[in-house]
């Protein structure tokens, strides 16, 4: 019975089989799951939703992730690297329009990594000087020694998604990369006082058991924000003709994580189904909108263009859709209070 599994998860007295039952719920069971997840979200966060701007400022990358459009060996991408002034300008525009955080994201770009990540640290500190909203660093993997400098430069978060905690599958989708180093990013971030985000992808060849394992591992690492994103096939990659990940599986994962981790942040990403997929994710218990892209010269990750050129991923549009559905964008000061209290748990 799904209600029993839901009850055990809410009471923190559950096993992997309960998580798996939630991750595969169908029909009325799924309705029960979504309803319970919404209730938990509403109790903790009310109708307030945090909003994140996304700045994919360099799409150069040394890695060859099988799922990623910007993998090193895809020659047909039209890569770009924004200069620091443009990034600061974008951060100011995001601040002016009321978002809570800017997510500074790059591929593992050698130009940013050289000399102890000088280029990346410079961008983080320039953005920190210019705006007082939250800053997330999404640079891929970094050495342990870089976590404190990142925090000192002004980063609040380190995001690094494992995609899967199945080692065999990890090695296939992130060839040549270390599973352990990627997992440890989250612990190293915490040691330096950074909050951490982890994520899994659905539809990359995992089964529900492996999905349950991933969700439980993200939980035990203590990640402060946890996400699921459905795989979107990319032209020019070895997975280009694979079946896309199921948005319903992503939604089940969001709801399951909401029940397991009532206090943590869970994104509804615009990067899988665009603005039309926002409500379904919020109705599954998400409480952050990510991948708001205010500028047509920037790319998404899983969806490079979807809803970007037409303004549907702009701050104004996202805020008006939230309002239409009874949600309210939380202010940057509310968001800072959330981060401060969460960091209090770390120290
Ligand atoms: N290069 C850094 C890294 O890999 O950690 C930061 C980039 S981060 C924006 C890349 C994330 O976007 C991946 O970890 C993955 O979760 C998501 N992503 C990339 N390609 C995707 C795809 N084809 N479908 C769904 N999600 C994707
Ligand atoms: C998103 N496209 O939020 C972004 C990205 C990176 N930290 C986040 C996956 O969906
Ligand atoms: Fe590079 Fe990140 Fe894409 Fe992997 S997912 S190829 S590390 S940009």
pLDDT tens track for 46-83: 999 999 999 999 999 999 999 999 999 999 778 999 99
Cα torsion angle, 151, 153, 156, 158, sign: negative
Three-state secondary-structure class, residue 158: strand
Q: Retrieve residue 228's tokens.
A: 């699921």
202: CA distance to ligand 3 center in Å? 17
Answer yes or no: is the C-beta of 100 below 6 A from any ligand 2 atom: no
DSSP at 307: T
Q: Retrieve residue 19's tokens.
A: 């998580």
Tens-digit pLDDT profile for residues 275-314: 999 999 999 999 999 999 988 889 999 999 999 989 999 9
Secondary structure percentages of the chain, helix, strand, coil, to 5:
50, 15, 35
In this prediction, residues 81-106 reach a mean pLDDT of: 97
Closest ligand 1 atom number to CA of residue 201: 16
* DSSP string across 15-35: -HHHHHHHHT--HHHHHHHHH
Task: Return the pLDDT at 347.
Answer: 59
Ligand nearest to the CA of 73: 3
The half-sphere exposure of 72 on its side-chain side, counting CA atoms within 13 A, is 10
Q: Are strands 48-58 and 101-106 parallel, antiparallel or unpaired?
A: parallel
Q: Output the CA–CA distances (angstroms, integers) from residue 265 to 64, 66, 303, in the order listed.
A: 29, 28, 22
Closest ligand 1 atom number to CA of residue 67: 23
> For a pLDDT cut of 90, what percent of the chain falls above it?
95
Tens-digit pLDDT profile for residues 324-343: 999 999 999 999 999 999 99
Q: Retrieve residue 89's tokens.
A: 């300008």
Closest CA to 246 of 289, 201, 282, 212: 201
Cα–Cα distance, 63 to 222 (Å, whole number): 27
Cα–Cα distance, 292 to 294 (Å, whole number): 6
- Where does the chain show beta strands of DSSP type E? 48-58, 101-106, 134-138, 157-159, 195-202, 225-230, 267-269, 288-292, 328-329
| Residue 143 confidence class, pLDDT cut points 50, 70, 90 | very high
CB contact at 8 A, 273 and 229: no
| Mean pLDDT over each residue of the chain, to the nearest integer | 97
344: CA distance to ligand 2 center in Å? 25
In this prediction, residues 36-47 reach a mean pLDDT of: 98
Residue whose CA lies nearest to ligand 3 atom number 3: 68
The half-sphere exposure of 13 on its side-chain side, counting CA atoms within 13 A, is 4
68: CA distance to ligand 1 center in Å? 7
341: CA distance to ligand 2 center in Å? 24
Mutate to test the pocket of ligand 3, among 55, 63, 239, 301 (most ligand atoms within 8 A of CB): 63
Task: Return the pLDDT at 76.
Answer: 79
Cα–Cα distance, 255 to 278 (Å, whole number): 14
In this prediction, residues 149-158 reach a mean pLDDT of: 98
Q: Are strands 134-138 and 157-159 parallel, antiparallel or unpaired?
A: parallel
């Amino acid at each position: 019975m799904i209600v029993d599994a839901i009850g055990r998860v809410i009471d923190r007295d559950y096993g992997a089989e309960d998580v798996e039952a939630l991750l595969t719920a169908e029909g009325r069971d799924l309705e029960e799951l979504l309803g319970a997840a919404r209730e938990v979200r509403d109790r903790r966060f009310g109708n307030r939703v945090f909003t994140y701007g996304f700045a994919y400022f360099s799409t150069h990358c040394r890695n060859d992730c099988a799922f990623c459009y910007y993998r090193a060996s895809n020659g047909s991408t039209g890569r770009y690297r924004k200069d620091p002034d443009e990034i600061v300008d974008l951060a100011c525009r995001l601040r002016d329009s009321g978002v809570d955080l800017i997510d500074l994201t790059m591929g593992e770009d050698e130009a940013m990594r050289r000399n102890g990540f000088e280029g990346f640290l410079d961008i983080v500190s320039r953005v920190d000087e210019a705006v007082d909203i939250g800053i997330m660093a999404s640079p891929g993997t970094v050495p342990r020694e870089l976590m404190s400098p990142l925090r000192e430069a002004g980063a609040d978060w380190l995001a690094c998604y494992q995609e899967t905690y199945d080692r065999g599958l990890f090695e296939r989708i992130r060839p040549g990369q270390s599973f352990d180093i990627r997992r440890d990013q989250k612990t190293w971030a915490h040691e330096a006082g950074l909050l951490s985000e982890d994520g899994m992808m659905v539809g990359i060849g995992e089964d529900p058991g492996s999905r349950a394992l991933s969700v439980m591992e993200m939980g035990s690492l203590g990640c402060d924000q946890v996400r699921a994103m459905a795989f979107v096939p990319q032209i020019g990659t070895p997975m280009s003709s694979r079946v896309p990940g199921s948005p319903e599986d992503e939604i089940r994962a969001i709801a399951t994580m909401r029940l397991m981790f009532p206090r943590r942040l869970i994104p509804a990403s615009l990067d899988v189904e665009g603005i039309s997929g926002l409500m379904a994710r919020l109705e599954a218990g998400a409480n952050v909108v990510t991948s708001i892209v205010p500028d047509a010269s920037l790319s998404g990750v899983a969806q490079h263009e979807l809803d970007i050129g037409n303004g549907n991923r702009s701050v104004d549009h996202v805020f008006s859709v939230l309002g239409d559905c009874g949600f309210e964008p939380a202010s940057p000061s509310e968001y800072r209070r959330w981060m401060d209290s969460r960091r209090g748990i770390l120290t």
